[in-house]
Amino acid sequence: GQNIDQPTEMTATEGAIVQINCTYQTSGFNGLFWYQQHAGEAPTFLSYNVLDGLEEKGRFSSFLSRSKGYSYLLLKELQMKDSASYLCAVKAPPNSGYSTLTFGKGTMLLVSP
């Protein structure tokens, strides 16, 4: 099975940097994904990590340590529009050729002026 933990809520100030952590305990691993979900909208893909290390994409970066079962999403130069829920998801290895995502419960980030 999969167990994914992330903080329920975080607050930060516009212009600051925030790090959202995700820890996972899984029976298999084939990648870790981060999604952003604004209130009342669909999740949208932000980043993924397969190998250990940091992946950078503009203001967003994601880090993975497979040995520690740990990932974080780093958001720099925070903007008001970054207020959203951030979902961590682990991809299981293919089972009979199929591979699905298991999502954490999400971290609600509130950015204040």
Partner 1 sequence: NAGVTQTPKFRVLKTGQSMTLLCAQDMNHEYMYWYRQDPGMGLRLIHYSVGEGTTAKGEVPDGYNVSRLKKQNFLLGLESAAPSQTSVYFCASSYATGLPTDTQYFGPGTRLTVL
Which residue among 14, 41, 52, 77 contacts partner 1 (CB under 8 A)?
A: 41
Ranges of beta strands (E only) in the chain are 2-5, 9-13, 18-26, 32-37, 44-49, 53-57, 60-65, 70-75, 84-91, 101-103, 107-112
* Tokens, residue 34: 């981060």
Which residue among 62, 84, 106, 109 contacts partner 1 (CB under 8 A)?
A: 106
Q: Which stretch binds partner 1 (CB under 8 A): 10-18, 20-28, 55-63, 98-106?
A: 98-106
Question: Would you say 74 or 101 has its CB closer to partner 1?
Answer: 101
Q: Give yes or no for a contact between 82 and 20, defined as CB atoms under 8 angstroms apart.
A: no
- The Cα–Cα gap between 22 and 97 comes to 27
Question: Would you say 13 or 38 has its CB closer to partner 1?
Answer: 38
Question: Would you say 39 or 113 has its CB closer to partner 1?
Answer: 39
In the complex, which residues of this chain contact partner 1 (CB under 8 A)?
Answer: 30-31, 33, 41-45, 48, 50, 87, 89, 91, 94, 97-106
